[in-house]
Amino acid sequence: TGSLGGAGATVVVADFQITVDNGQVGILLNGRNAPELRVSRQYANMIDDYQRKKGKVTKTEKDAMVFVKQKLDSAKWFIDAIVQRQNTLLNTMNAIVEYQKPYFLSGDETDLKTMILKNIADIVEMDISTISRVANSKYAQTPYGTYPLKYYFSESLTTQDGEEVSTREVKNILNQVIEEEDKKKPLTDQKLMDILREKGYNIARRTVAKYREQLSIPVARLRKEL
């Protein structure tokens, strides 16, 4: 990712480009994250020449070859590390796309399922800390907008039936209930909590207030219309 200053504007450079075509979701890693790296053949040839000469080399030539070999080994290690990082990024994005495929096909936020870091960590067989670093630092450009990967993760709640639901789903229901309320008698957070619980969502009044604030919806007395 990257940003450009000037007039307070921030430009996000996506790490992944997601495409959707005929029900197929494609994933492309940004070139900045997938550089083409290779060891110069010139230095590899120097090592080959040295090995062919065997004992017919001076001490200076031997010292030079030892130095070159150390640098070649370091370069190969660096390239391997970059390839491993690319694989980590692609495996993580692939797992997210598969887990949230209905959303990537539709672009409808309500199709996003409850997904926590452990879900993806289990799929790609990596530590949760690794998935967390990727989710908190990378962006994906999709047909529906550019989002940080953490957008696709959510907290979860448990319904009275023991079913896990996304907090995003609860917020959508909360927003709908408020939109349909009688504006002459707007619903208090306590009443909103009661309605959500009637719908099967175990939620505390303070949590209702938090979600309402996150939705930029004012308290009941400020929603009242005469």
Where residue 7 falls among pLDDT bands split at 50, 70, 90? very low
Q: Say which residue the tokens 């989710």 belong to.
A: 135
Give the span between the Cα atoms of 80 and 74, in whole angstroms: 10
pLDDT at 126 over 50: yes
Band the pLDDT of 85: cuts 50, 70, 90. Answer: confident
Cα 93 to Cα 61, 85, 87, 89, 128, distances in angstroms: 48, 12, 10, 6, 14
Give the global pTM.
0.61
- Given pLDDT bands bounded at 50, 70 and 90, which one contains residue 224? very high
Does 91 score more than 80 pLDDT?
yes
Q: Given a cut of 50, is residue 197 above it in pLDDT? A: yes
Task: Please determine, for residue 149, whether its predicted confidence score (pLDDT) is greater than 80.
Answer: yes
- Residue 3: pLDDT band with limits 50, 70, 90: very low
Average pLDDT over residues 164-193: 90
Q: CA–CA separation, 121 vs 142, rounded Å?
A: 22
Report DSSP state, residue 32. G
What is the distance between the alpha carbons of residues 209 and 221, in angstroms, rounded to a whole number?
13
